[in-house]
């Protein structure tokens, strides 16, 4: 376990492990990506370019999951995997640690967060350890990241949170699974799950809308979300029922239309079955038209055209999960075997870098 002092001093950040890839980082390639990793029992995060070339590594106190990043590109926050006990504030350009946020009593970080439009506040998905109820912890970026309050997510097991294009509404994926800190990662309510997609007013925490799957699909845990250029919310899910059940795994909610129902995206049954009831991550491409959803259990990434609501392509590679938009088109993809791929909207998957012993964790984020 790395100590707080070691994290904040950046020990290990200078000992960079080069990635073998297609080109070195240069001025023409300025887009920066973030991904947490594991390395033989230690954990960290890495910053790299669109060719998968490593710029820095930064140690983490425990296994990381995903990130929140401020729009100005100067601040990012790495969150521990649930049930998490830390969040690390860092400079994503320099790769230096700035502040370690410990979880407060009876609260666990759930792996994701989002900033307000002005960057003054950061919301983190959290669970109340004793009851499992979901909250968004509110942190003041101007006051040493002091926790200044919390708002209910109106559900259990909140996971990903994003700020909607209107700049004032937060959308939260409530996974609906009951877990408590005295029995970490043990799922206590599978027959009676209550997943939901929740919209909250970031200004006062009030509930704007709550959308649930149909009752017969209550074991579809809503985990990850992506927002297209029309403001519709794509939902990537994980099914907690029998693997032999035929259930949809990817949905879209038309928030601008004000609907209270999820629409399920089509996919051939052979592709749906190959995903083994598990979606790992979701991302829109730079145009906001194409949605990618990964399935590490299914060793594939599926791409939908959101204008036609049609499955476009499927790219295949082992244990793929992390997804982020490429600077021009398509996606950068990471896997648990240390590889990075460039995935075109035509479904072609090309290896661009290998990180040796690093095992990339679930989520990749564009930092700038």
Taking the C-alpha atoms of residue 75 and residue 68, their distance in angstroms, rounded to an integer, is 9
| Backbone phi and psi for residue 271, each to the nearest 5 degrees, phi listed first | -75, -45
363's tokens: 């989520």
pLDDT at residue number 30: 65
Inter-residue contact 190 to 137 (CB < 8 Å): no
Per DSSP, the three-state class of 206 is coil
Rounded average pLDDT per 10-residue block, the chain, 368 residues: 52 41 40 96 96 95 98 97 96 97 98 98 98 98 98 98 98 96 86 98 97 97 97 98 97 94 96 98 96 98 97 96 94 97 93 91 95
Taking the C-alpha atoms of residue 108 and residue 357, their distance in angstroms, rounded to an integer, is 29
204's tokens: 């006062």
* pTM as predicted: 0.92
Please tell me whether the peptide bond between 189 and the residue prior to it is cis, using omega within 30 degrees of 0: no
Taking the C-alpha atoms of residue 342 and residue 321, their distance in angstroms, rounded to an integer, is 13
| Domains, the chain, with CATH or none | 4-282 (2.130.10.10)
| Backbone phi and psi for residue 52, each to the nearest 5 degrees, phi listed first | 80, 15
Pairing mode, strands 300-305 and 250-253: unpaired
pLDDT at residue number 3: 52
Closest by alpha carbon to 37, among 366, 363, 367, 325?
A: 363
Per DSSP, the three-state class of 148 is strand
Q: Residue 311 forms beta bridges with which residues?
A: 304
pLDDT at residue number 140: 98
């Amino acid at each position: 376990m790395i100590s707080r002092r070691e994290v904040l001093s950046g020990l290990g950040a200078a000992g960079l492990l080069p990635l073998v890839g297609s080109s070195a980082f240069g001025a023409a390639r300025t887009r920066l990506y973030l991904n947490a990793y594991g390395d033989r029992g230690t954990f960290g995060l890495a910053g790299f370019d669109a060719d998968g070339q490593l710029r820095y590594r930064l140690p983490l106190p425990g296994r990381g999951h995903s990130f929140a990043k401020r729009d100005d590109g100067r601040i990012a926050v790495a969150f521990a995997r649930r049930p998490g006990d830390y969040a690390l504030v860092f400079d994503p350009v320099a790769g230096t640690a700035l502040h370690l946020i410990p979880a407060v009593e009876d609260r666990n970080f759930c792996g994701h967060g989002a900033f307000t439009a002005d960057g003054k506040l950061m919301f983190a998905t959290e669970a109340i350890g004793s009851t499992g109820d979901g909250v968004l912890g509110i942190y003041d970026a101007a006051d040493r990241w002091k926790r200044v309050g919390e708002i209910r997510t109106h559900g259990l097991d909140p996971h990903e949170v994003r700020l909607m294009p209107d700049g004032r509404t937060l959308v939260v994926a409530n996974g609906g699974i009951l877990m408590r800190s005295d029995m970490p990662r043990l799922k206590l309510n599978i027959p009676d799950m209550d997943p939901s997609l929740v919209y909250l007013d970031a200004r006062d925490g009030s509930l704007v809308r709550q959308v649930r799957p149909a009752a017969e699909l209550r074991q579809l845990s809503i985990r990850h979300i992506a927002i297209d250029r029309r403001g519709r919310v794509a939902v990537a899910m994980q099914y907690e029922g029998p693997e032999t059940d035929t259930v949809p795994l990817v949905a879209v909610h038309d928030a601008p239309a004000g609907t209270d129902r999820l629409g399920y995206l089509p996919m051939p049954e052979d592709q749906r079955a190959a995903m083994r009831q598990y979606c790992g991550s979701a991302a829109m491409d730079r145009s906001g038209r194409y949605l990618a959803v990964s399935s590490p259990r299914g060793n594939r990434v599926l791409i939908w055209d959101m204008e036609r609501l049609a499955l476009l392509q499927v790219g295949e590679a082992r244990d793929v999960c992390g997804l982020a938009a490429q600077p021009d088109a398509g996606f950068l993809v990471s896997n648990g075997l240390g590889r990075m791929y460039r995935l075109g909207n035509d479904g072609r998957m090309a290896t661009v870098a290998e990180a040796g012993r690093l095992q990339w964790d679930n989520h990749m984020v564009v930092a700038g």
